[in-house]
A and B are shown apart, each in its own frame.
Chain A
Amino acid sequence: MTSIELKNVSFGYTEDRIVLNDVSLVIDKPGFYCIIGPNGVGKSTIVKCLNKIIEPQKGTILVDGEDIKNLKYKDLAVKIGYVPVFSNDAFSMSVVDTILVGRFNHTKTCSRSENLRKVYETMRLLHIEGLAYKKFNAISAGQHQKVAIARGLVQETPVLILDEPTANLDVKYQVYVMEMLRAISEKKGMIVLTISHDLNITAKYAHQVIMLAKPGVVHAVGTPDEVLTQENITHVYGVNCRVINDDQCISNPKIDRSCNLSVPHIILGEALDIEEGE
């Protein structure tokens, strides 16, 4: 089982622009993890540190107990798959070839048709198999997002990190993708870590929520009903809200409604006064 551990990680783009402030975090069980928090609080920065895209000034990051400073990019890539918010603006390949890039680390061990099979299966999972030979630049932003998710999934890494996988998706696919990621984490025993802005969908599907707050600190970690409380949301986001426990959104007929299952539901109120600018 792959594990990720951040020990007292601090990162700043410049001396006076500190983004992460002594962040410590352990993720050592499979599941669907969501990082939430307001803008500029270091959500993407954590993810980039995990992939060695940037190097924290202080602290250590361990993957399977090994400091990633000592790992080569290619050794880390086999463990952690990452899908950045990507737009291919220069020259675009077909959707198939774009997703096939995600199989880069499997090109030596798998034949072309095996790789194409994996790509096709994943396109089918995201209902984009009809776009296979469309140019990446010729499809919509929501479709880009599905291609990006597919590219992450075909990497077949034990850890998959997605930066805002539901951005640009319509309501149905926001739900579908998050539900799917939860299902995949359970089915495959994977760690799926996403950055998310939608509190309600996060509340419904995340196993664990990691809530970051200014100035780049971990405010709370736990199950959605532990973390997504009215106090936490108001404190971290500066928005009034009500949290109700909703049992209407559970649709699985195998579950008896009377057993009092519910998920937290956040109803947002007005924004509070902004104390200081960024």
Chain B
Amino acid sequence: MPPTSSRERIMVFYSNSEEDPLLGSSVLESVNNWDEGVAEDDGRFTDTLRQYVRLIKFRYVFIAVCIVVIVIVAGFSMTLGPFNISFAETYEILWSHITGNAYPDTAKDYIVWETRLPRVIFGVFGGASLAVAGAVMQSILKNPLADSYTTGVSSGAGFGATLAMAAGFTLGGMTNVVIFAFLFSLIPTAVIVLMSKISSASPTTMIMAGIGVMYVFSAGTTVLMLWSDPQALSTIYSWQVGSLSNPNVLFKNIPIIVVTAIAGIAFMCAMSGKVNVLATGDESAKALGIDADNLRIILLLISGLLAAAIVSFVGIVGFVGLVSPHIVRMFIGADNRYLLPASAIFGGMLMIVADQIGRVALSTPLPVGVVMAFLGGPLFLWLILRRSKDVW
């Protein structure tokens, strides 16, 4: 039966939707309201907007609180040591350096500026780098377990450093260790990137690849440790747990770590809007105009560099990269535009707080990596138990 003319008419496109007999008045009204937009004095809309601004303010407050804690703890950290320098004096010395004036007591000045400041700087910028690397890896691999540890970056660096120390390549000071650690830390990132290029791997496969590489390097490190002499072994060991007392934490190394951290973190923050899109999945990212595969590779490489730079100097500090982003998410949510900068500040804070506790808690100073695990573990478990169910 051929369609009658009237039935044909009803299927046609009505350029004036009001005339469309299939559209009920309630839908038409909703669509018209949508098209006209919301009125300036719509109370519900202004409420929604106000709440959005309030949430953003809360995020800034969170960041500000962390910065205050960093400043205070940094002051305390610089009072520790055989030479007695007061809390206020440390700030005076720093301030005189910032303003370019000479501090009268040159001995105290030298101790704070040359020997105690590097520890704080490495702690803050190292914690920040690891936390941002962790946050980005978690978001783009869509995996709450992703960090420089589970992607193999840390164990790559660990293997490199162990190799340098076990083989006795430490003639030029510790510089060789740093270079080796850095070079080997690039291998796991390269493996993940190559795997994703070859087999268009999913985020889950990438993290599995990272874990695979991690095991290979860990086994390699163990073999090297079995072969090495007792003296090298103790150096290797202290490097393995990660500590801000590491011999590479020196004033002359500050520029490298600060420049890498600031450049890397700034880049990540600039990309944070894109990270948000990528975190919604590859298909939806591509549909929103983002080359998902390339962006993920770039972000992984930069995360790897950030983590490798710090691991090369202070050794394998676990936990801060994994846990900082999670704790920050509990406070301010998963929006990467705020998560990344807040994780950086929080990670820096966590690192020097843990280091401070490790130095004063017992008569023997504990390495920051150990404190982080001891305190961070239970803290993390507690937060998981009391979290609002929907964080991840």
Chain A residues close to B by CB (< 8 Å):
29-31, 48, 51-53, 72-78, 80-84, 86, 88-94, 96-98, 101-102, 104-105, 107, 113, 116-117, 120-122, 124-125, 129, 132-133, 135, 137-138, 155, 176, 179-180, 182-189, 204-207, 223-226, 245, 250-252, 254-255, 259-263
**Interchain CB contact under 8 A, A84 and B283:** yes
B residues 276-305 near A (Cβ < 8 Å) are 276-277, 279-284, 286-291
Chain B residues with CB under 8 A of A107: 273
Chain B residues with CB under 8 A of A104: 273, 276-277, 288-290
Chain B: minimal CB distance from A106 (Å): 11
Chain A: minimal CB distance from B367 (Å): 31
Q: What 11 new A-B contacts, CB under 8 Å, besides A88-B280, A179-B23? A: A53-B287, A90-B279, A91-B138, A91-B279, A91-B329, A92-B334, A117-B49, A124-B33, A132-B48, A223-B8, A252-B21
In the bound assembly, the distance between CA atoms of A226 and B4 in angstroms comes to: 11
**Interchain CB contact under 8 A, B21 and A254:** yes
Across the two chains, which residue of chain A brings its CB closest to B25?
A252
**Interchain CB contact under 8 A, A96 and B290:** no
Chain B residues with CB under 8 A of A188: 35
Interface string of B254-284 (1 = CB under 8 A from A): 0000000000000000000100110111111
Nearest first, the 9 A-B pairs at minimum CB distance are A77-B289, A74-B289, A82-B287, A223-B11, A135-B390, A91-B334, A186-B17, A90-B142, A138-B390
**Interchain CB contact under 8 A, A225 and B13:** no
Interface string of B327-347 (1 = CB under 8 A from A): 001000111000000000000
**Interchain CB contact under 8 A, A133 and B10:** no
Chain A: minimal CB distance from B181 (Å): 30
Across the two chains, which residue of chain B brings its CB closest to A50?
B287
In the bound assembly, the distance between CA atoms of A183 and B3 in angstroms comes to: 24
Chain B residues with CB under 8 A of A204: 22
Q: How many A-B residue pairs have CB under 8 A?
A: 207
**Interchain CB contact under 8 A, A183 and B27:** yes
**Among candidates B17, B388, B392, residue contacting A183 with C-beta atoms closer than 8 Å:** B17
**Interchain CB contact under 8 A, B139 and A78:** no
**Interchain CB contact under 8 A, A138 and B389:** yes
B residues 25-70 near A (Cβ < 8 Å) are 25, 27-28, 30-35, 37-38, 44-45, 48-49, 51-52, 55
CB contact under 8 A between A225 and B287, given known A132-B51, A250-B21, A261-B21: no
Q: What are 9 A-B pairs at a CB distance below 8 A? A: A91-B139, A117-B45, A117-B49, A122-B34, A135-B390, A225-B11, A226-B3, A252-B25, A260-B7
Chain B residues with CB under 8 A of A125: 30-31, 33-34
**Interchain CB contact under 8 A, B33 and A73:** no
Interface size grouping (class) on chain B: 35 or more
**Interchain CB contact under 8 A, A80 and B287:** yes
**Interchain CB contact under 8 A, B38 and A101:** no
B82 within 8 A of A: no
In the bound assembly, the distance between CA atoms of A113 and B8 in angstroms comes to: 44
B14 within 8 A of A: yes
In the bound assembly, the distance between CA atoms of A176 and B23 in angstroms comes to: 10
**Interchain CB contact under 8 A, B7 and A245:** yes
B386 within 8 A of A: no
**Among candidates A88, A96, A98, A261, residue contacting B10 with C-beta atoms closer than 8 Å:** A261
**Interchain CB contact under 8 A, A129 and B48:** yes
B20 within 8 A of A: yes
**Interchain CB contact under 8 A, A73 and B34:** no
In the bound assembly, the distance between CA atoms of A186 and B16 in angstroms comes to: 7
In the bound assembly, the distance between CA atoms of A73 and B303 in angstroms comes to: 24
Chain B: minimal CB distance from A81 (Å): 7
CB contact under 8 A between A29 and B391, given known A74-B290, A84-B283, A84-B287: no
**Interchain CB contact under 8 A, B30 and A182:** no
B6 within 8 A of A: yes
Chain B residues with CB under 8 A of A30: 13
B15 within 8 A of A: yes
- Choose among B14, B21, B49, B280 the residue with the greatest number of A CB atoms under 10 Å from its CB: B280
**Interchain CB contact under 8 A, B13 and A31:** yes
Chain A residues with CB under 8 A of B49: 113, 116-117, 120
**Interchain CB contact under 8 A, B273 and A91:** no
Chain B residues with CB under 8 A of A255: 21
**Interchain CB contact under 8 A, A121 and B37:** yes
In the bound assembly, the distance between CA atoms of A101 and B288 in angstroms comes to: 9
In the bound assembly, the distance between CA atoms of A96 and B51 in angstroms comes to: 11
**Interchain CB contact under 8 A, A187 and B35:** yes
Chain A: minimal CB distance from B193 (Å): 19
Across the two chains, which residue of chain A brings its CB closest to B31?
A183
B24 within 8 A of A: yes
**Among candidates A91, A206, A262, residue contacting B144 with C-beta atoms closer than 8 Å:** A91
**Interchain CB contact under 8 A, B390 and A84:** no
B96 within 8 A of A: no
CB contact under 8 A between A96 and B31, given known A252-B22, A259-B6, A261-B10: no
**Among candidates A73, A261, A263, residue contacting B291 with C-beta atoms closer than 8 Å:** A73
CB contact under 8 A between A73 and B13, given known A183-B23, A261-B6: no
Across the two chains, which residue of chain B brings its CB closest to A251?
B24
**Interchain CB contact under 8 A, A179 and B286:** no
